[in-house]
Amino acid sequence: MNDTLHVSPLLDLAGIFVFALSGALMGARKRLDVVGMAVLASMTALGGGILRDLILNVRPAAFESLGYVLVPLLATVIVFFWHPQVERGMPTVLVFDAAGLGLFCAVGTEKALTVGFSPLHAVLLGMTTAVGGGILRDVLAGQIPSLLYDRQLYAVPALLGSAVMALLWGAGFTGWPATLAAAVLAFLLRILAMRYGWRAPLARGIPDE
């Protein structure tokens, strides 16, 4: 999740940091050592952006700036030494995580549209930017990826935010106002889902938990 077009690099790194925190926390919960925690933190924070850039056939931004490497390592160090305190602060971390989700789905969609992808493919790539790192984290941690079991409405806000970005682009609205609007929509949907316990529906006939 990287290489933003109309977003401050500091915001980009902040989003990477909160995603990296969630990856490092997953490693701590799985009783991984510090190396495993660092791998999960890096994959969660950078995986989506790397996948996007490889599909776009451009050099991943994660390999062009030292900050993209150091920030996940910093998050790992914080969780390694202050794991209980970070766990207690998870409600705040989840708010920033939602902001990162909105930011990266909008930016990923915008980048795909800029290089000539169709709106549909750009939406899919925007969602991949936002949730791809989480998929890699879950696979490496040995659990069902949240994208396949979206019971906390994580992928859905990213998909809708990406769709709004594509619609605005198609209507001629580009630049940071469009990116901000799409990012805020995804952010608010994610926050509301956490607040009110919204869940994606199961297949008909399967009882909810």
pLDDT for the residue 46: 95
pLDDT at 202: 79
Q: How far apart are CA 152 and CA 78, in angstroms?
A: 26
pLDDT score at 42:
96
Q: Which domain holds residue 179?
A: 9-196
pLDDT of residue 37: 96
| Domain membership flag for residue 4 | no
Residue 206 lies in a domain: no
Total domains present in the chain: 1
CB atoms within 10 A of CB 156: 18
* In-domain check, residue 148: yes
Residue 101 domain flag:
yes
pLDDT tens, the chain, 209 aa long: 444 444 557 777 888 998 999 899 999 989 999 999 999 999 999 999 999 999 999 888 788 888 899 999 999 999 999 999 988 888 888 888 898 899 999 999 999 999 999 999 999 999 999 999 988 998 999 888 877 776 678 899 999 999 999 999 999 998 888 999 999 999 999 999 988 888 888 788 777 66
Single pTM value for the model: 0.85
Q: Is residue 142 part of a domain?
A: yes
Q: Name which of 148, 134, 128 is nearest 56 in CA terms.
A: 128
Give the pLDDT of residue 64.
Answer: 84
In-domain check, residue 103: yes
Q: Is residue 53 part of a domain?
A: yes
> 61: which 2 tokens?
């931004």
Domain assignment present for 140:
yes
